[in-house]
Amino acid sequence: MLVMGGIIGTGIFMNPYVVAQRVHTPALVLGAWLAGGCIALMGGFIWAELADRMPAAGGQYAYLRDAYHPLISFLYGWVLLLVIQTGGMAAVTVTFSRYFLELTGWRAGEWQIAFVALTLLTIINCMGVRAGGTLQSGLMVLKIGAIALLVFAGAFLLHGHVNWKPALDQPVSGGLFSSFGAAMVPVVFAFGGWHTATFASAEMKAPRRDLPRALIMGVIAVALLYLSVNYVCVSALGVSTLANTPAPASAVMRMALGQRGATIIALAIAISTLGFLSQSVLTAPRVYFAMANDRLFFRQLAWIHPRTQAPVMAIAIQSVWTMVILLTGSYDKILNYVTSMDVLFWALTAASLFVLRQRDPARSAFSMPGHPFTTALFCAVCLAVVGNTLYRYPENTLIGFAILVAGVPMYYIWRRTLRA
């Protein structure tokens, strides 16, 4: 549930139409989502081996620290707090507020609902990993049920069909590969997030046994759900209509169940956003805790509540910074360069497997199949996504890199201060 909750947000309800705008046959649309699932599964296997080799607090942060240098792991935590996690949380919180107000009809500001939601999730997760995990599992079950209802309604109530001919919308050429690559961008984004479950590995009872299994099983389950949703959207709407339908899940449910269906899917999106927020509040603060424990951040963030055993201060600072971004209204701009930073560190983390295997050649219980070729392929795909983002959105991407570079002097200032 933790792995799936980190992946499934609002993207699966919205992104199918973006993919259909870039490739124009059912085979290519569904092929893009299948390829995205394969890439995510490669990432799941890589992180599974890393988790088996190093079941340490902070997960990905610890892999980067031990494989390369504390500076690299500090930079990851730096952009995670300032940009990646909090920027994404701010935008998702606003999405939740909008759907919540639409469903309830309450007269309140979006920021007020967002503050209440974040505060409640922060309090629950400060009560310990068991309380946060229970909430996450409950929300994930509801989310899976809503997606299953969408698939059932589209497959059995609408009786659509998929015309597999022609398979390609243009001859095999550079243009075809370019279009398919463009379609892969929103797919890769929608599949991201499996790695966040590793942040809480130190609080699991048997992380070397459970976390790798959860990563692999969770990614496979999400891939099956995503493929099912897209098959239903293609069969019910057709590729051309899907390309002009910004809310395809709502359109399918409205066709199958009328306005009641549209209300159900709006509730599902609200639950999905809340589940993503719950997972974010539960997992990411473990990175800031690990940084503080390494004496690379405010030492108060390494404080553990004696009863709940939760890093309360680390949880609180993330929620507070998210609220600051909400008040400034800058989350839309932040989201433009969140992805480039996130995927860049995916590539660095995956490459750390080469370093760790060289240091300790002993076979892991969860070895990456096809290593080193599959691991290198995953790194290449990640770097291609970063390069494409830099090419298409140079200004916003360079802002993200500027924030990353600004962390370098901060690292040395912190080290010098602590040494003094």
Residue with tokens 């805790």: 289
What structural domains and CATH numbers belong to the chain? 2-419 (1.20.1740.10)
One digit per residue, the tens of pLDDT, for the chain of length 420 reads 888 888 887 777 777 888 888 888 888 899 999 998 988 899 888 988 888 888 776 788 889 999 999 999 999 999 988 888 888 788 788 878 877 887 787 888 778 888 898 899 888 888 877 777 787 778 888 888 888 888 888 877 777 777 777 777 777 777 787 778 778 877 877 887 888 888 877 777 887 788 888 888 999 999 999 999 899 888 888 888 888 887 788 888 888 888 888 888 888 888 888 888 888 888 888 888 888 888 888 888 878 877 877 788 888 899 998 888 888 766 656 656 677 788 899 999 999 999 989 988 877 777 888 889 999 999 998 898 788 778 777 877 788 889 899 999 999 888 887 766
Tokens (6 digits) for 171:
């001859």
Tokens (6 digits) for 192:
């991201």
Tokens (6 digits) for 358:
């060289």
What is the C-alpha to C-alpha distance for residues 50 and 65, in angstroms, rounded to an integer?
Answer: 13
What is the C-alpha to C-alpha distance for residues 331 and 152, in angstroms, rounded to an integer?
Answer: 35
Tokens (6 digits) for 11:
């993207």
- Cβ contacts of residue 39 below 8 Å, gap of 6+? 188, 191, 378, 381
